């Protein structure tokens, strides 16, 4: 285990020799700014969003976070407790990437037919783009096939910890595994930072992050009452910003946003005419690649709710501590991060599908759109089940197979517009 992060130059020298690193990084930043420009062009956005935009831009630039005393611990997915990392005195940073240029980089090292997100994550680390160059270590949950083999490739660049995810997700048999993995992460964090995570550290972290969840849930509840008050893209900016934003600052920013949105809701309590609420599900949409969101919202619909792991699902579940003992807190962490997860990597899709149904009902959504990244068997199999369930209930469904690249924008736009036209004529909203 390292105590201090290795310098960027040392780590990535051989790649900087082979790749045009600076141009890739520049392309990445440009891409991010383009997306942000298009989002900012929407009128009537709350001014409090500026905070989140700034945070996201700085994460793209890889502005300084962490220090030798507070190492940056990179994570993927939502299986590693941020509370533990925070309690250890480190900085959690989710390194999931949606950059198409990083994915292209990985083609030299990884097979072509691999999940684009995994390729992009690898490329990100290989190039040292954004926050990746700050990470002292990266924690990879072995959730899907791609992530299972990714650690082997990443070890060339930095330390990797693997977290085992049983596919079964059964409390009686798997709670031991969840607890074991959580404790393993804890002990490795303690070795990384060189100090024990004390009872008070952990408790304070859990309470802090619980307050983060409470703020987020207030935002979600406000959107449930007034779906038009915050666009889907802005909401995803908020959730994506939490990837590497200091937790207190993020919570304060959300509270500020809530205040502003409540005032706006007083003035405009009713949804505008022609408001078309949709639920989004499927593969993660990661900043700055908001292609899918842009297409849908520019076509005139609104993403009012989602089940994306980079969206609502990242922050929705709190860590509910039953007993404030050391064991009790670890159990609560294990449950929230493993048992509450709706990732398609688990064998049973029932809970994910139920979540979509719940959202359709609560938000009176008129349809469901599934954003499937190619080459993901897990999401495809889940989508086929979802399709059947939704058809049985008469809920319109659109499944989009796409990639991280921007080349198929037009085809996707056509399909989305056709779908919206089809459901736009329905007079009765679903659910409610």
Site for another protein, rule CB under 8 A: 169, 171-172, 175, 199, 206-207, 210-211, 213-214, 217, 317-318, 320-328, 331-332, 335-336, 339-340, 342, 350-351, 354-355, 357-358, 361
21/254 with CB nearer another protein: 254
Name the one residue in this structure whose structure tokens are 């893209």: 233
220/299 with CB nearer another protein: 220
Count of Cβ atoms closer than 10 Å to residue 267 Cβ = 6
CB 322 within 8 A of CB 331: yes
20/176 with CB nearer another protein: 176
SS3 assignment for the chain: CCCCCCCHHHHHHHHHHHCCHHHHHHHHHHHHHHHHHHHHCCCCCCCCHHHHHHHHHHHHHCCCCCCCCCCEEEECCCCCCHHHHHHCCCEEEECCCCCHHHHHHHCCCCCCCCCHHHHHHHHHHHHCCHHHHHEEEEEEEECCHHHHHHHHHHCCCCEEEEEECCCCCCHHHHHHHHHHHHHHHHHHHHHHHCCCCCHHHHHHHHHHHHHHHHHHHHHHHHHHHCHHHCCHHHHHHHHHHCCCCCHHHHHHHHHHHHHHHHHHHHHCCCCCCCCCEEEEEECCCCCCCCHHHHHHHHCCCEEEEECCCCCHHHHCCCCCCCCCCHHHHHHHHHHHHHHCCCCCCCCCCHHHHHHHHHHHHHCCCCEEEEEEECCCHHHHHHHHHHHHHHHHHCCCEEEEEECCCCCCHHHHHHHHHHHHHHHHCCCCCCCC
Shortest distance, position 327 Cβ to another protein, whole Å: 4
Shortest distance, position 321 Cβ to another protein, whole Å: 8
Shortest distance, position 230 Cβ to another protein, whole Å: 19
User: Which of 289, 342, 404, 380 shows the shortest CA–CA distance to 78?
Assistant: 342
135/329 with CB nearer another protein: 329
213/294 with CB nearer another protein: 213
Shortest distance, position 314 Cβ to another protein, whole Å: 14
Shortest distance, position 204 Cβ to another protein, whole Å: 9
Shortest distance, position 424 Cβ to another protein, whole Å: 26
Shortest distance, position 410 Cβ to another protein, whole Å: 37
Name the one residue in this structure whose structure tokens are 């005393």: 69
125/333 with CB nearer another protein: 333
Shortest distance, position 220 Cβ to another protein, whole Å: 10
Kindly list the distances between the CA atom of residue 361 and the CA atoms of 11, 151, 299, 393, in Å, as whole numbers in the listed order.
50, 40, 23, 11
14/248 with CB nearer another protein: 248
60/163 with CB nearer another protein: 163
86/415 with CB nearer another protein: 86
Which residue(s) pair with 367 in the sheet? Answer: 278
Shortest distance, position 207 Cβ to another protein, whole Å: 5
Shortest distance, position 210 Cβ to another protein, whole Å: 4
63/170 with CB nearer another protein: 170
Shortest distance, position 309 Cβ to another protein, whole Å: 13
217/413 with CB nearer another protein: 217
Contacts of 202 (CB under 8 A, 6+ apart): 83, 84, 87, 326, 329
């Amino acid at each position: 285990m390292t105590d201090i992060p290795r310098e960027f130059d040392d780590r990535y020298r051989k790649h900087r020799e082979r790749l045009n690193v600076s141009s890739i990084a520049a392309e990445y930043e440009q891409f991010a700014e383009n997306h942000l420009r298009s989002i900012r062009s929407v009128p009537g956005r709350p001014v409090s969003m500026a905070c989140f935009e700034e945070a996201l831009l700085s994460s793209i630039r890889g502005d300084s976070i962490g220090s030798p005393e507070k190492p940056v611990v990179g994570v993927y997915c939502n299986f590693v407790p941020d509370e533990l990392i925070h309690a250890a005195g480190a900085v959690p940073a989710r390194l999931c990437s949606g950059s198409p240029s990083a994915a292209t980089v990985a083609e030299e090292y990884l097979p072509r037919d691999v999940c684009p997100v995994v390729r992009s994550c690898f490329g990100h680390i290989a190039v040292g783009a954004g926050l990746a160059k700050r990470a002292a270590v990266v924690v990879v949950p072995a959730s899907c096939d791609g992530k299972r083999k990714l650690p082997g490739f990443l070890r060339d660049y930095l330390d990797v910890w693997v977290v085992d995810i049983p596919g079964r997700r059964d409390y009686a048999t798997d709670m031991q595994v969840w607890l074991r993995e959580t404790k393993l992460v804890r002990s490795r964090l303690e070795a990384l930072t060189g100090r024990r995570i004390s009872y008070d550290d952990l408790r304070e972290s859990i309470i802090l992050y619980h307050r983060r969840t409470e703020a987020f849930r207030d935002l979600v509840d406000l959107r449930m009452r007034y779906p038009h008050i915050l666009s889907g893209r802005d909401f995803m900016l908020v959730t994506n910003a939490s990837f590497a934003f200091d937790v207190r600052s993020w919570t304060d920013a959300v509270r500020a946003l809530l205040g502003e949105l409540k005032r706006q809701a007083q003035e405009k309590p009713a949804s505008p005419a022609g408001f078309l609420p949709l639920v989004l599900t499927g593969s993660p949409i990661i900043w700055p690649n908001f292609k899918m969101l842009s297409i849908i919202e520019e076509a005139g619909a609104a993403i009012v709710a989602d089940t994306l792991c980079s969206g609502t699902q990242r922050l929705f579940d709190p860590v509910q501590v039953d007993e404030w003992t050391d064991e009790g807190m670890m159990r609560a962490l294990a449950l929230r991060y493993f048992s509450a997860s709706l990732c398609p990597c688990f064998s049973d899709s029932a809970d994910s599908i139920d979540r979509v149904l719940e959202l359709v009902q609560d938000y009176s959504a008129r349809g469901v759109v599934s954003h499937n990244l190619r080459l993901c068997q897990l999401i495809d199999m889940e989508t086929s089940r979802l399709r059947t369930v939704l058809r049985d209930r008469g809920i319109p469904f659109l499944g989009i197979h796409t990639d991280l690249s921007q080349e198929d924008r037009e085809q996707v736009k056509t399909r989305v517009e056709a779908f919206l036209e089809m459901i736009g004529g329905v007079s009765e909203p679903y659910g409610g």
